[in-house]
Structure 1
């Protein structure tokens, strides 16, 4: 059934969406008028430990605090479901406030509004839909279900509605294409179930992971309340150029004096050929020790990547706002992807930056464009423009070449990668 759907999506794409890599929804949304202001709707606490106000005004916390409350919530359930890795990430971010102001999975009205408008029905900006998918014909609105990760109780969900999404349309709007050569479209077509269901979440326990994922409230308590906090998102090991990029971001004129960087990698499911999350976590930990810096903080995010380019840039900015960040570094082709058939990029190099700049004021997060850094024999890392102006000798090493050298046991140049990171990769990949 799912592969039939994928074929149908290809047919729809051929007739309805064969244009440029930049998304239709992005082009439309940037030109739209601003929505009306949104009041605080979610039960939670506006934390003062960080400078940034949570998205929607208050930070959601759906996790029950006592064993008695948890037992009572479980007693109401009539069914159990095992969460997929992607669902587990979504449930965690709903119940800990990472997806504030959401208090559950999106119903059909909310889902459609986010797909069409990059916003919730009341106008609050929201990058991508957050949906509970299933193939279960027996699940119905009104069911209260215990959601589990193995033997561990994670949450309960009270389903409010059940609907059949137009997946081809969802992909065109959110990813810019419904071609299954796009990893996000492939995920929607072949991994997600036939139905989506809206439902209110009640949190029981956070998942036990190989890497510690502190909640937004916990992270906020560690952040200064009087300086800017610049978030850096990555889904790969941090190499020298990345490190130079996020440390130099503190010198950007958009960032205030004495700002700090929150390095906040995603450790959930991502593209099939990316390095597994637990291995990435190990590289981050050794690098954190090697480059100890009071202006750099490290935390980990249980988020599953969609590779949705501009729309995902907004989603990342919104999540980091809930974690207390005021600024967000937008790299070239952020959350971008290539066709698995042609190798062509689905998004332009600056589509995510342009969309983030357009939506930043409405979102309340300042995008910081990443520097285009290159390594030179004469002066180390400089901007590409500076290297060209001074006629400096650039050194380059592609990701493909790096992986080949890694597998072959060849020496990796220290200008490209940290020795500690290379050691971890050799031992685990």
Structure 2
């Protein structure tokens, strides 16, 4: 497995040049591609509410017809954007003092904003070079596209309540005592938050966690403008940049991305291992296990604990077809729109395929407990735009554990009348707290040990 140490990351960051990295594009190569056509305009999330299990066959069908697939001269996925350019906004060290001296204002970033600054600086949001000004924000909200027509899932914005900030200001962006970036403010505007929520999340109800975030956490105004990076946030876990992850990927091979925000148990592991054998994945492909470790829902396990579970699992499985990296991304639980956002990010990290499960990035009403999205809404929208993104989707299989044959697909279990064992997340947490033995078919021993340690530390 290719593992990037924190020392390697620090050394690379220190030597990283300021100009954007231009990734030359080689001739196209044919690969197995999804037949889903590119759409001229995005369907609003609300229009997808009717997609339910009855569309499962259509959504999960995988075509294997060969189509043109653009790659870099190194044989890797091209970055997002018409210029296929992996953006790098980090300023050289010898420019830092002058950049800081040019600032006339300062903003202390939230946890979420710090994640966005980092992802902008390292090119995960390529081709963006800063926070969206008003016209770009409105275009992404309304159409899921930048004003030049480029697909983009969710708006990247910097919020503030300050009345003093104005276009023309040069702002130092700091986080927990660390100066991260300098921003030239070109736009300050009052967002239409109800419209933003309705278009991006399919609802303006405060029962949705991201609507609560937009309405109750974000400030009155949004700021737009380009940024220059000074440093990446100091974290207890390393977050490899797109360029660093790309350096670990095999050329001219399929690279699947597996997104998650929770500890990985054996059913999850079966999902991405089996995805490597999907009909539209060529032999020799690898899977990038790329969990989000930024802020998420309040009841989720903290990012640092999730990171520790991934690290021990990486050692326990020692699978050469896996790559592991961590993404400092703040989850929005935006369902279909977030699936598009995740695909764009993973494209910039070098992935050609995206594993997408039922109700990806979905959430439930905090009052009624009802799902905000249909089980296959995210798959539907992802398939619709996969070809435009130069990517393919790999639907995750519905896996079940049976007494007779271990893990099999749910349809096999049903057809053969096998005895399926179930363990809910709630029951699992109860067993952890009580010190009960966790079935080995459900979870990895190394992961259970980390979670037990966390529970004990919370109790003390």
Distance 1:223 1:204, change over 3 A: same
Selected match of 2:116 from 90, 94, 110: 90
Q: CA deviation at 1:151?
A: 2.3
Q: Distance in 2 between matches of 1:306 and 1:254?
A: 29
1:58 matched to 2:80? The reply is no
Q: Distance in 2 between matches of 1:23 and 1:83?
A: 29
Deviations 1:366-401 (A, max 9, x none): 111000000000001111001000100000011111
Q: CA deviation at 1:82?
A: 1.2
Q: Distance in 2 between matches of 1:172 and 1:229?
A: 33
Partner of 1:390: 416
Deviations 1:78-104 (A, max 9, x none): 122211100000000111100000000
Q: Distance in 2 between matches of 1:187 and 1:289?
A: 36
Q: Distance in 2 between matches of 1:324 and 1:27?
A: 31
Deviations 1:312-344 (A, max 9, x none): 000000000000000000011000000010000
Q: CA deviation at 1:310?
A: 0.2
Deviations 1:214-238 (A, max 9, x none): 1101110111111000000000000
Q: Distance in 2 between matches of 1:81 and 1:403?
A: 39
Partner of 1:332: 358
Q: Distance in 2 between matches of 1:254 and 1:112?
A: 36
1:371 matched to 2:397? The reply is yes
Distance 1:26 1:348, change over 3 A: closer
Deviations 1:163-211 (A, max 9, x none): 1111111101000101111111111010100111101110111111011
Partner of 1:161: 187
3-state SS of 2:311 partner = helix
Partner of 2:217: 191
3-state SS of 2:327 partner = coil
Partner of 1:24: 46
Distance 1:27 1:416, change over 3 A: closer
Q: What do you get for the CA RMSD once the two structures are aligned?
A: 1.4
Partner of 2:238: 212
1:101 matched to 2:127? The reply is yes
Unpaired runs of 5+ residues, structure 2, are 1-43, 51-70, 456-460
State the TM-score, normalized to the length of structure 2: 0.83
Counting only pairs closer than 5 Å after superposition, residues 128-139 of structure 1 correspond to structure 2 as 128-139=154-165
Deviations 1:48-106 (A, max 9, x none): 445100001110001012x2211111111112221110000000011110000000000
Off by >2 Å, runs of 4+ in structure 1? 22-28, 46-50
Q: Answer whether contact 1:114 1:129 (CA < 8 A) is retained.
A: yes
Q: Distance in 2 between matches of 1:53 and 1:315?
A: 16
Q: Answer whether contact 1:89 1:302 (CA < 8 A) is retained.
A: yes
Q: Answer whether contact 2:259 2:291 (CA < 8 A) is retained.
A: yes
Q: Number of matched residues?
A: 390
Q: Answer whether contact 1:25 1:116 (CA < 8 A) is retained.
A: no
Q: Distance in 2 between matches of 1:50 and 1:143?
A: 42
Q: Distance in 2 between matches of 1:354 and 1:208?
A: 37
3-state SS of 2:338 partner = helix
State the TM-score, normalized to the length of structure 1: 0.89
Partner of 2:37: none
Distance 1:83 1:58, change over 3 A: same
Q: Answer whether contact 2:49 2:377 (CA < 8 A) is retained.
A: no
Unpaired runs of 5+ residues, structure 1, are 1-21, 29-45
Partner of 1:362: 388
Q: Distance in 2 between matches of 1:324 and 1:225?
A: 10
Q: Answer whether contact 1:372 1:384 (CA < 8 A) is retained.
A: yes
3-state SS of 2:276 partner = helix
Q: Distance in 2 between matches of 1:242 and 1:50?
A: 29
Selected match of 2:282 from 253, 256, 260: 256
Q: Distance in 2 between matches of 1:338 and 1:23?
A: 15
